[in-house]
């Protein structure tokens, strides 16, 4: 029989203490962490970066196929990705949760174990949060703080005409993982005796359930004296993010279909589901890669990094935002990324 | 006919732009605010303080009697109160919301107007956030950042034996406001034709719906060279907060019933509802006053401030945490403050 502790047995403060007792402090800047009204963070000669995300059950995740440990890990990664997208280093996070009595302590332990692993991996301190009951559904709010050498942060609005457009890693995998999980969920709901068919699909499932914020790309920039002209993370899909870079920098762009980095696993999965891999790469969200622009003269600095692909370049606003297909046709890019308020 | 704009008409980014376009930047430290992956905050020779709260419909507020403007104001105040409770000055906030399609743009405007007023009043910058749909209920997550001269922040754990225990303002009003509103809601649900009877109750209703974070107390400390030995805000009720100060400082205390500051309005309302004003003052939550301890030699520095009451003093741990009634009886203090996980 599985152990089950009721949250009421601990009380709110007991719960916080219970959930946070294993977290160690990594940064000398963390003067005061969990357990008081607020956390104290020391910054001398550094700039503080802060980002926050709200994740809701049924909207951002489905507990039917999302293990809680992965969910905790992902909730942190999504925020760290935003900090790295500023060319900054994450240093602290706060985690607030709203939980119904459906969730046991053991389940919460799993969730916080994922948070713990994410924090350890990225040298980040959990410094606060809030816990409350919810009437329905699991609610997660994470805020991340980071630091950056003054004026080294990279915005979305500062790309220049002629700059190369680059992305890290590969695209579309998380969307294909989601497509697979939704398909398997549908099959399971129709016939609970059918076991999920996830064989050979561990790559795309991992892209969905356990995304990695791209710390090593930021480290690579620093080691190679690279400062992107503009940057953001790929959470809604590359076409949506490219449109943000263009709009905020007041420029247009050219993207080449053949340059879009797509893994063999994603390509195979797309064909299996009858989808176009290019469409998945352009419009699929949640890859949590970095998209950035670079001065052309910096091109040599990135050629040796196999994790970085040049997918196009920035143009004048008047030239529009277009994609050139493998067949040589040119289409306008439309941001079809995740839009929470459209059906 | 009232105007109603659907959130889908704006889209997520349009919504953020719409909701935040009127916010001005107050602090030179706000290098970059809303509109990018993360906000950038500059701190030279100051320490950064961060606090976060998650507020859920049906748990923390009831939209049936909470105007959205007040809710926005209160959501900010609750967080600023935590920053002031560190003896720090709030400088930035992030606000994340989860909203169902029940909420119109006009309703959200009201909510953000309350946030705006709170920010203006306290010189705080809104620097980020997240918006998403929710399947059910209105979800609010606020994170506040503040700054404090290095090592001037005040914790809960540093009270000393013999220190005076002080509170700002008066106690129990918010709880009595809640009692009134719940009573009126019950009457209304039974008979929607009955108008709410809130006459002469504006003080306690205001204490519930529009709490004020006690900036002026922190300002008074600075002007009069006062550094409390320990401090926290009164969100769960004074008895609960006193227990926190005692537990974290490893001390006991004596509280005097006759010293508890209770407004005439609260006292009158308590009698009307058949409640003991002392119990309301001790156990009622959401007053958002400050409770702090002070060295005895600093007593003269606070006597001229009518907003500050000395309610007792800290003792050795062995003497326990006790309240002395007007009749001279002594009882153990039990923290009966709001506990989210108990029925």
- A184 found inside a domain: yes
Q: Considering only CB atoms, which chain B residues are within 8 Å of A135? A: 56, 58-59, 136-137
Same domain, A114 and A257: no
Task: Using a pLDDT cut of 70, give the percent of chain A over it.
Answer: 85
Of A208-222, A233-247, B184-198, B225-239, the least confident: B184-198
User: How far apart (Å, rounded) are the C-alpha atoms in residues A9 and A12?
Assistant: 9
Q: Which of A100, A115, A148 is the last residue of a domain?
A: A148
- A155 found inside a domain: no
Of B49-63, B68-82, B328-342, the least confident: B328-342
- Report residue B72's pLDDT band, with 50, 70 and 90 as the boundaries: very high
- A261 found inside a domain: yes
What integer pLDDT is reported at residue B78 of this predicted model?
94
Strands (E), chain B: 30-32, 39-43, 46-56, 89-99, 125-133, 139-148, 164-168, 230-234, 252-256, 289-294, 308-315, 321-324, 330-332
Is beta strand A230-234 parallel, antiparallel or unpaired with respect to A289-294? antiparallel
Contact B170, B262 (CB under 8 A): yes
Count: domains in chain B? 2
What integer pLDDT is reported at residue B32 of this predicted model?
65
Same domain, B92 and B133: yes
What integer pLDDT is reported at residue A343 of this predicted model?
31
Is beta strand B321-324 parallel, antiparallel or unpaired with respect to B252-256? parallel
Same domain, A55 and A172: no
Same domain, B104 and B207: no
- B113 found inside a domain: yes
Tokens (6 digits) for B335:
């923290």
Same domain, B120 and B230: no
Same domain, B251 and B285: yes
Same domain, B126 and B187: no
Q: Which of B122, B148, B174 is the last residue of a domain?
A: B148
User: Which range is most confident: A17-31, A108-122, A313-327, B98-112?
Assistant: A313-327
pLDDT exceeds 90 at position B91: no
Angstrom CA distances, A262 to A25, A244, A258, B229, stand at 38, 22, 10, 59
Determine whether the interchain pair A56/B86 forms a contact, defined as Cβ–Cβ distance below 8 Å: no
Whether B142 contacts chain A with CB within 8 A? no
The answer for A 220-259 residues in CB contact with B (under 8 A) is: 232-233, 248
Which residue is listed with tokens 């754990």?
A: B157
Report the sign of the C-alpha dihedral through residues B230, B234, B240, B242, in that order: positive
Residue B54's SS3 state is strand
Report the sign of the C-alpha dihedral through residues A118, A120, A125, A130, in that order: positive
- B153 found inside a domain: no
- A174 found inside a domain: yes
The answer for A 13-72 residues in CB contact with B (under 8 A) is: 15, 31-32, 35-54, 56, 58-60
Determine whether the interchain pair B97/A54 forms a contact, defined as Cβ–Cβ distance below 8 Å: yes
pLDDT exceeds 80 at position A166: yes
pLDDT in tens, B245-263: 999 899 999 999 999 999 9
ipTM of the complex: 0.86
Segments forming the whole domain that contains residue A220: 164-332
Same domain, B205 and B238: yes
Residue A137, phi then psi, degrees to nearest 5: 85, 160
Looking at the complex, report in whole angstroms how far the Cα of residue B269 sits from the nearest Cα belonging to chain A: 29
Determine whether the interchain pair B341/A94 forms a contact, defined as Cβ–Cβ distance below 8 Å: no
**How many contacts (CB atoms, under 8 Å) link A and B?**
225
- A230 found inside a domain: yes
pLDDT exceeds 70 at position B11: no
CATH number at residue A66: 3.30.1330.10
Please give the span between the terminal C-alpha atoms of chain A, in angstroms, as a whole number: 42
Looking at the complex, report in whole angstroms how far the Cα of residue A33 sits from the nearest Cα belonging to chain B: 10
Q: Which of B104, B119, B148 is the last residue of a domain?
A: B148
Which residue is listed with tokens 């002392």?
A: B278
Q: Considering only CB atoms, which chain A residues are within 8 Å of B15? A: 341
Contact B248, B339 (CB under 8 A): no
Residue of A11, A40, A47 lying closest to B49 (CB–CB): A40
- B338 found inside a domain: no
Give, as one character, the DSSP assignment of residue A224: T
Looking at the complex, report in whole angstroms how far the Cα of residue B278 sits from the nearest Cα belonging to chain A: 25
Same domain, A172 and A62: no
Residue of A98, A145, A233 lying closest to B50 (CB–CB): A145
Same domain, A54 and A190: no
* pTM of the entire predicted model: 0.88
């Amino acid at each position: 029989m599985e152990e089950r502790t009721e949250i009421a047995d601990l009380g709110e403060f007991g719960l916080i203490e219970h959930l946070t007792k294993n977290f160690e402090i990594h940064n000398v800047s963390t003067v005061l962490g969990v357990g008081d009204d607020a956390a104290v963070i020391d910054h001398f000669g550094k700039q503080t970066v802060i980002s926050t995300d709200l994740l809701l059950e049924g909207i951002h995740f489905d507990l039917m196929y999302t293990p809680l440990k992965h969910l905790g890990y992902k909730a942190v990664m999504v925020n760290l990705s935003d900090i790295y997208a500023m060319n900054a280093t994450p240093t602290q996070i706060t985690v607030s949760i709203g939980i119904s009595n459906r969730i046991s302590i053991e389940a919460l332990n799993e969730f916080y174990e994922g948070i713990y692993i994410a924090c350890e991996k990225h040298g980040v301190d959990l410094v606060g949060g809030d816990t409350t009951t919810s009437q329905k559904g699991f609610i997660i709010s994470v805020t991340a703080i980071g630091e950056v050498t003054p004026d080294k942060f990279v915005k979305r609005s500062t790309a220049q005409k002629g700059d190369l457009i680059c992305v890290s890693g590969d695209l579309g995998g998380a969307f294909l993982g989601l497509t697979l999980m939704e398909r398997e969920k549908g099959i399971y709901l129709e016939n609970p005796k059918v076991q999920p068919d996830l064989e050979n699909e561990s790559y795309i499932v991992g892209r969905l359930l356990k995304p990695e914020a791209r710390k090593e790309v930021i480290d690579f920039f620093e080691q190679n004296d690279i400062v992107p002209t503009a940057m953001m993370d790929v959470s809604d899909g590359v076409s949506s993010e490219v449109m943000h870079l263009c709009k905020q920098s007041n420029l247009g762009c050219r993207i080449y279909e053949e340059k879009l980095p797509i893994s063999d696993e994603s390509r195979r999965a797309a064909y299996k589901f009858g989808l176009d891999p290019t469409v998945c790469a352009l419009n699929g969200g949640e890859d949590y890669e970095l998209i950035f622009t670079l001065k052309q003269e910096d091109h040599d600095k990135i050629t040796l990094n196999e994790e970085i692909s040049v997918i196009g370049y920035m143009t004048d606003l008047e030239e529009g935002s277009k994609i050139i297909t493998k067949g040589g046709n040119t289409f306008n890019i439309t941001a079809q990324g995740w839009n929470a308020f459209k059906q």
